[in-house]
Amino acid sequence: MSMLLTKRLARSLWRTKLRLSAVILMVSIGVFAGIAFGAYAMSVTTLYDDIYEDDEQGVNLPDLWVENNAGNWNATTAENLCQEIRDQWPSDTLELDHCEPRLKSNGQFFSESAEIGMVPSVWHGIDEGEVDKVWIPEHDCCSGRMATAANEIVIDQHAVEGLNIEVGDTVRISAGAGFALNYTVVGIGFHSNHLYFTIGEEIIPAQPGTFVTGYMTDEGLEVLANFTAGESNLLLIDVVGTPDSQAADESGLADLITGISAIVSENNDSPTGVYDRTGVHSVEFLRADVEGAMKTYPIVTGMIAIVAGITIFLSLQRLIQTQAKEIAVLRTLGVKRMSIMPGYAIAPIFIGGIGCVLGAIPGVLFGAPAMVSMYESIIGIPIIDHSLPTSLVIQIVVTAMLIVFLSGLRPAWQASRLQPLEVLRGQHEIRVSSRMLQKMTSKLPATVGLTIRSSVRKPVRMMFTFLAVGLSMLIFGSMIIMMDSFGDIFLGGLDERQSWDAQAFTMGNEDAILEWADENDAEHEFMIVFPGNPEGDNRQLTAYGLENVTTEAGESMYLVYLSEGDLPSENQTIPEVLVDEGLNYFLDWEIGETHSIEFGTKTVEVKITGFTRGELSRTVYFHRADLAEVVGLEATVVMLQLPDGVETDEQLAQSSLGITVREDSVDAVMTLLEQQQGIFLAIQGLGILIAVAVLFNTLVMNLAERDTELATLRVLGASNNRLGLMLFGEHLGIGLIGGILGCIFSILGTKFMMSSFVTWTAYFTVAPSNESIFLLIGIVVFISISLTPFGMWRIKKMDLVEKVKDLSQ
């Protein structure tokens, strides 16, 4: 390889420094994003593994949970159930390690601060056992010790920030027994069920001061909830080792769940659910999150690197085209093919190398720590080990370099294959336009025909450009589309169509709540929320029993979103239900079919009349009376419509297992969305930036390629304005086609990405709104037509004397 040839190529590339900078920037962004996302993914993977570990630092996360959904077991029953499970252990491959009864209850936290008032809470009775311990890491976040006395409590670290709780404080709490008690805070830590800190099974974390969880002794909770000694509603089952809950059939967990369900059913009448780690919202959500992050970071890096690679490919092709005569002369003078090729092949390596360095340094120094810190602030779990493996940086850089290197191979090969005679005769520039296209556009004015034909003159380039625009729009578009799709899920049953003001949770003591409602002139409506599972399938679903299953405001305090089918009728021989689209997706349940759902020991056959949309977890909507007959409860929730001036108070809080105030929940969602807006805008801006760079690069190349044509037309007297109009039409066309394709690409890409993240407990569909579709198309059109003034400026600055010289040479 000749140094002079390389120097010549470097100088040629330098002349296109604006485009070159754009490509380098793209590679940098790809590497930066890859390192930032990768560091986050790696850090949290290690973190969860460490927390769940069965060792001195870990909490020893159980493998199975047996939950009494309709009350408590007394001490004897709970111990008997564990003993039966030990005696009849239904697996040959898995070995039982521990079976521990536990008690959990909803409740209220009463703050001295009037601003905060009552806060919905969950209390766990945890005597120091072997399974599912409280995690108090040696970190600034946490302190203290486990509760050992009946009046001691450990408060979850997530709750501390908003309520200013410290070790040594006294807190007043209740658990639906009609009174509140004081407890001394002896520790601040975390629990596996609340590592992802949400109220119930919501998708977004609870805002500071809106939710509290606490961990006390069994006795402490029994007193608070007015239960008898030894009562429990959970059995934690720990298996030796960690069988994979994501492959429950292969690991033997599925059979184990079936076996334990049978044992529990034989020995107890309560509706009982048996589930593995996939049934624990926090555990499953964080697993899906880390899996998503692990899948995302190579995709993000690869995608941006591919966009950069396409841009390099197109730029090199254009460069070779402009240098064709020089290459032909060199070839005529005897320069070997192999002397021409390496320069063009190595150029992308230099471009990629610079981009990688410029992306990797800030990625390691700022991107990775910022991403981890953002994670800590959103999820609220401290990352103890901030490790950034060198192998990750190498993996990202090698991926980016490989993609950019491959992008240069074909142009390099093309450069070396140029035929000197053809080039010098100008034959390589002669092309015959498509006859079909000519016929299709023959009735149009010649200016329009030229615009269309020149736009599709190079189909390969056009295809690559649209691919690159599509990929870059995917980054922006996926954010827009995801926000669209998540809108309903984020708000769940909280949006303005719903008319309940508060939900008071109950377990058979609804009379006290109704009394409160009467005293305060509040309207009420019963609802049942009860866990179940499809027959023969251990995955959990939630059954809602609504007084009136309807989509019409005014007919119920809780409205459903019917996406397909009809509303169910009440009191049918086979109860009619609506199921969410996720059940259709995972189980192929169709409208008109009948299926069986298990509620503990009871199985009910239901007929599906329609699908609903917007539920993150699997949901079935019954008429309340139908569901009440099955589960034996009249209500688990009392929805309240409060008159003006009436608010939930301590009396209601003490009478219920927890209260959700709609306004507070909506505020929490809005606050989180506002907090995230900066990040969303940054990612969207990144996508737009890349789309602009790709479109700009291609359109500038198009303009440069048409210099001869435009100069000819200028010499022949075409005015700037007429040519500008022609360019505008061309850019509008490219923008429209690019926008539509970019939009389709974004939707398909987002669907593909999302489909790989969808799990039983977190199902969502991609449903872009018309506004988003117009926005995506509009942005590409805007970018495209914004380049018309640049094109006109170029035409205006064109030195016609020089161009005429070129045309005559």
Partner 1 sequence: MSLVEISDMKRHYVMPSETVKALDGIDLSIDKGERIILLGPSGSGKTTLLNCVAALDNPTAGKYTFEGHEVPRGHSEKMTSFRRENIGYVFQFFNLLQDLTVLENILLIQELSDGRDKNRALELLKLVGLEGEVDRFPGEISGGQQQRVAIARSLAKSPKLLLGDELTGNLDSATSTKVMEVLVKACEAEEITVIMVTHDESLAKYATRVVRLDSGKIISDEKVNN
**CB-based burial, 776-796: b 16+ in 10 Å, e otherwise:** bbebbbebbbebbeebbebbe
By the rule CB under 8 A, 447 interacts with partner 1: yes
- Cα–Cα nearest to 541, from 634, 639, 608, 625: 608
Question: Are the beta carbons of 606 and 575 closer than 8 angstroms?
Answer: yes
Residue with smaller CB distance to partner 1, 15 or 722: 722
> Taking every pair of C-alpha atoms in the chain, what is the biggest distance, in angstroms?
103
Give the Cα separation of 801 and 345 in Å (integer): 36
CA distance 465 to 456: 11
Of 11, 333, 431, 645, the residue at the interface with partner 1 (CB under 8 A) is 431
Binding segment (CB under 8 A) for partner 1, from list 396-404, 430-438, 493-501, 769-777: 430-438
459 lies in the binding site for partner 1 (CB under 8 A): no
Question: Are the CB atoms for 578 and 611 separated by under 8 Å?
Answer: yes
Give the binding range for partner 1 (CB under 8 A) out of 4-12, 79-87, 293-301, 449-457: 449-457
Among 382, 449, 565, 724, binds partner 1 (CB under 8 A): 449
Task: Label residue 502 exposed, middle or buried (CB < 10 Å: 0-12, 13-18, 19+).
Answer: buried
Alpha helices in 281-425 (DSSP H): 281-322, 324-332, 337-362, 368-379, 390-417, 420-424
Q: Which one of the spans 3-11, 274-282, 371-379, 452-460 is the region binding partner 1 (CB under 8 A)?
A: 452-460
Specify whether the backbone of 176 is left (phi greater than 0), alpha (psi in -120 to 50) or beta: left
**In the complex, what is the shortest distance from the CB of residue 797 to partner 1, in angstroms, rounded to a whole number?**
9
3-state DSSP assignment of residue 87: helix
Cβ distance to partner 1 smaller for residue 175 or 701: 701
The number of C-alpha atoms within 13 Å of 292 and in the hemisphere containing its C-beta is: 14
Q: Which is nearer to partner 1, 663 or 709 (CB)?
A: 709
Residue 430 binds to partner 1 (criterion: CB under 8 A): yes
Q: What's the closest the beta carbon of residue 431 comes to partner 1, in angstroms?
A: 6
Nearer to partner 1, 4 or 716 (CB): 716
Q: Which is nearer to partner 1, 338 or 430 (CB)?
A: 430
Residue 266 burial by CB count (10 A; 0-12/13-18/19+): exposed, middle or buried?
exposed
CB of 723 to partner 1, least distance (A): 8
Place of tokens 């360019």: 727
Distance in angstroms (rounded) separating the CA atoms of residues 300 and 308: 12
How many other C-beta atoms are found inside a 10 Å radius of the C-beta of residue 283?
22
- The residue range among 444-452, 468-476, 636-644, 738-746 that interacts with partner 1, by the rule CB under 8 A, is 444-452
CA 359 to chain centre: 25
Kindly tell me which of 333 and 430 has the beta carbon lying closer to partner 1. Answer: 430
Q: Among 18, 240, 679, 807, indicate the residue that binds partner 1 (CB under 8 A).
A: 807
- Alpha carbon distance 521, 298 (integer Å): 58
Which is nearer to partner 1, 17 or 425 (by Cβ)? 425
Task: Give the nearer residue to partner 1 in terms of CB position, either 462 or 672.
Answer: 462
List the structure tokens of 358: 């410029």
Q: Measure Cα distances from 275 to 62, 255, 548, 715 in Å.
A: 11, 12, 30, 79
Q: Kindly state the smallest distance separating residue 427's Cβ from partner 1, in Å.
A: 10
- Of 174, 193, 185, nearest in space to 134 by CA: 193
**Choice between 462 and 666, CB closer to partner 1:** 462
CB of 715 to partner 1, least distance (A): 5
Among the listed residues 168, 334, 445, 536, the single contact to partner 1 using CB under 8 A = 445
- Smallest distance from partner 1 to CB 497, Å: 55
Which of 6, 322 has the CB closer to partner 1?
A: 322
User: Are the C-beta atoms of residues 666 and 487 closer than 8 Å to each other?
Assistant: no
Distance CA 289, CA 283 (A): 10
Q: With the C-alpha atoms ordered 333, 337, 338, 344, is the resulting torsion angle positive or negative?
A: positive
* Spatial distance between the Cα atoms of 212 and 660, rounded to a whole number of angstroms: 13
Nearer to partner 1, 332 or 433 (CB): 433
Is residue 432 within the footprint of partner 1 (CB under 8 A)?
yes
88 contributes a contact to partner 1 by CB under 8 A: no
Closer to partner 1 by Cβ: residue 675 or 708: 708
Site string for partner 1, 689-708 (x = CB under 8 A): -------------------x
- Taking CB under 8 A as the rule, does residue 453 contact partner 1? yes
**Residue 457 touching partner 1 (CB under 8 A):** yes
In the bound state with partner 1, the residue whose beta carbon lies nearer, of 512 and 723, is 723
Quickly tell me which residue has 């564990």 as its tokens: 82
CB-based burial of residue 259 (10 Å sphere; 0-12 exposed, 13-18 middle, 19+ buried)?
Answer: middle
**Least Cβ distance, residue 494 to partner 1 (angstroms):** 58
Give whichever of 3 and 446 is closer to partner 1, judged by the CB atom: 446
Shortest reach from residue 803's CB to partner 1, in Å: 9
CB of 788 to partner 1, least distance (A): 17
Whether the Cβ atoms of residue 238 and residue 131 lie closer than 8 Å to each other: yes
Alpha-carbon gap, residue 637 to 505, rounded angstroms:
4
CB 795, min distance to partner 1, A: 10
450 in contact with partner 1 (CB under 8 A): yes
- CB-nearer residue toward partner 1: 440 or 574: 440
β-sheet bridge partners, residue 66: 235, 274
Secondary structure (3-state) at 153: strand
Sole window of 191-199, 453-461, 569-577, 629-637 interacting with partner 1 (rule: CB under 8 A): 453-461
Q: Please tell me the distance from the alpha carbon of residue 316 to that of residue 326, in angstroms, as a whole number.
A: 15
125-144 binders of partner 1 (CB under 8 A): none
Burial grade of 179 (CB within 10 A; 0-12, 13-18, 19 or more)? exposed
CB 692 to partner 1: min, Å: 27
Taking the least distance from each CB to partner 1, the nearer of 2 and 322 is: 322
Site track 705-744 with partner 1 (rule: CB under 8 A), x = hit: ---xx--xxxxxxxxx-xx---------------------
Applying CB under 8 A, which of residues 226, 433, 594, 603 lies at the interface with partner 1? Answer: 433
438 binds partner 1 (CB under 8 A): yes
| Closest among 774, 795, 782 to 725, alpha carbons compared | 795
Read off the tokens for 265.
Answer: 């059913």
- Count of residues binding partner 1 (CB under 8 A)? 36
The residue among 287 and 714 lying less far from partner 1, judged by its C-beta, is: 714
- Is position 808 an interface residue for partner 1 (rule: CB under 8 A)? yes
As measured in angstroms, the least distance from the Cβ of 319 to partner 1 is 21
Site string for partner 1, 759-798 (x = CB under 8 A): -------------------------------------x--
- Residue 778: closest CA among 713, 706, 691: 691
Residues 6+ apart with CB under 8 A from 14: 20
For the chain, what percentages of helix, strand and coil (3-state, to nearest 5) are there? 55, 15, 30
Q: Minimal distance in Å, beta carbon 432 to partner 1?
A: 4
Written as one letter, the residue type at 242 is T
Q: Which residues bind partner 1 (CB under 8 A)?
A: 426, 430-433, 438, 442, 445-447, 449-450, 453-454, 457, 708-709, 712-720, 722-723, 796, 800-801, 804-805, 807-809
